[in-house]
Amino acid sequence: MAIAARILLLGGGNMGAAMLAGWLDKGVDPANVVVVDPRIGETLRPLVEERGVRHAEQVPAESFDVVVLAVKPQMMGEALAPLGTTLGPETFVISVAAGTTIATIEAGIGECAVVRAMPNTPALIGRGITGAFANARVDEAGRALADALLAASGPVEWVDREELIDAVTGVSGSGPAYVFHLAECLADAGVAAGLPADLAMRLARHTVAGAGELMIRSPEPPEKLRRNVTSPNGTTQAALDVLMAEDGLAPLMQRAVLAARDRAAALAKE
Ligand SMILES: NC(=O)C1=CN([C@@H]2O[C@H](COP(=O)(O)OP(=O)(O)OC[C@H]3O[C@@H](n4cnc5c(N)ncnc54)[C@H](OP(=O)(O)O)[C@@H]3O)[C@@H](O)[C@H]2O)C=CC1
Ligand SMILES: O=C(O)[C@@H]1CCC=N1
């Protein structure tokens, strides 16, 4: 779907700029986007200076078809305050803020059509994934527009209960950080095993990236791909005996994901 909507993006930081890059790559006209942010950060700069997206420090007095909220949850009240005069009856809102509920958004700007979404930063290279929930005011056209905007950075998974967005946050919203940390741990372990640090980091980065790419391209589930690496009684089995022990990675990952999910729910109350 070609996206012709006029878009107001509040917050051009890590996530806002990543999504914006995806829209431009999908053919959104930069003249149709205004990004409001008190500063122009590293990721946003080329989108403004080289690709012609409009930047403003304050919400301009114009009308927009969709407002995308990509500010920190703690800044949401302040970001919503100037929107009152900007929203027309046809405007709808997409929020990507972790934890911020639709009720909070409606408390700030009145009842409206809201899609609450949770993308992730691989959106920057068109390799993100987004979970999304639409409230009852979002009509078919709004949902199609939200789907097109969110799909610019990867697949969109719609959920039918708002609270599931907190669980999505725990898995895929925060998930890239777990994978980057895995690469850091793998590199550190390589150093402990005797490798020079820079070589260990190259091995770790390429292993994580290559395994990720294989997982996407292969029709096989991760479990089968894991088995393909694991020779009977070989080296991988020795490592997996550690990782798959009762107190190994599975319970640790579960605690981590639940901590992120619960933090999202707690953010809603701050
Ligand atoms: N980073 C991620 O991986 C993901 C983040 N999210 C969500 O995206 C949102 C943004 O996160 P992230 O991009 O990481 O944060 P950043 O801090 O990188 O970006 C937020 C930007 O919004 C600006 N800002 C602050 N107040 C306002 C305002 N009133 N109006 C407009 N812009 C404002 C900030 O400026 P300044 O720094 O000067 O305050 C900053 O540039 C959060 O709600 C987060 O939960 C969702 C999925 C993944
Ligand atoms: O850490 C955070 O709160 C945000 C939401 C998901 C990823 N980053």
Cα–Cα distances in Å, from 180 out to 53, 101, 196, 214, 260? Answer: 30, 28, 19, 17, 16
Its pTM stands at 0.95
Q: Is the CB of 20 under 6 A from ligand 1?
A: no
Which domains does the chain possess?
A: 7-161 (3.40.50.720), 175-267 (1.10.3730.10)
- What three-state secondary structure class fits 245? coil
Q: Which pLDDT does position 4 carry in this prediction?
A: 84
The answer to the question of whether 13 is labelled as a binding residue is yes
Amino acid 110 reads G
Closest residue to atom 17 of ligand 1, CA basis: 13
Q: Is the CB of 166 under 6 A from ligand 1?
A: no
What is the whole-number distance in angstroms between the Cα of residue 173 and the centre of ligand 1? 14
What is the whole-number distance in angstroms between the Cα of residue 232 and the centre of ligand 1? 48
Tens digit of pLDDT at every position of the chain (270 positions): 678 899 999 999 999 999 999 999 999 999 999 999 999 999 999 999 999 999 999 999 888 999 999 999 999 999 999 887 667 677 799 999 999 999 999 999 988 999 999 999 999 899 999 999 999 999 999 999 999 999 999 999 999 999 999 999 999 999 999 999 999 999 999 999 999 999 999 999 999 999 999 999 999 999 999 999 999 999 999 999 999 999 999 999 999 999 999 999 999 888
Q: How far apart are CA 243 and CA 205, in angstroms?
A: 19
Cα dihedral sign for 265, 267, 268, 270? positive
The DSSP element (H or E) to which 156 belongs, if any, is strand 156-158
Q: Is the CB of 96 under 6 A from ligand 1?
A: yes
The answer to the question of whether 228 is labelled as a binding residue is no
Q: Is the CB of 79 under 6 A from ligand 1?
A: yes
- What three-state secondary structure class fits 136? coil
Closest residue to atom 8 of ligand 2, CA basis: 174
Give the pair of three-digit tokens for residue 269. 């109350």
- Asked if ipTM goes beyond 0.95, one says yes
The answer to the question of whether 176 is labelled as a binding residue is no
Q: Which pLDDT does position 85 carry in this prediction?
A: 66
Amino acid 64 reads F
What is the whole-number distance in angstroms between the Cα of residue 12 and the centre of ligand 1? 7
Q: Is the CB of 100 under 6 A from ligand 2?
A: no
Q: Are 47 and 17 in contact (CB under 8 A)?
A: yes
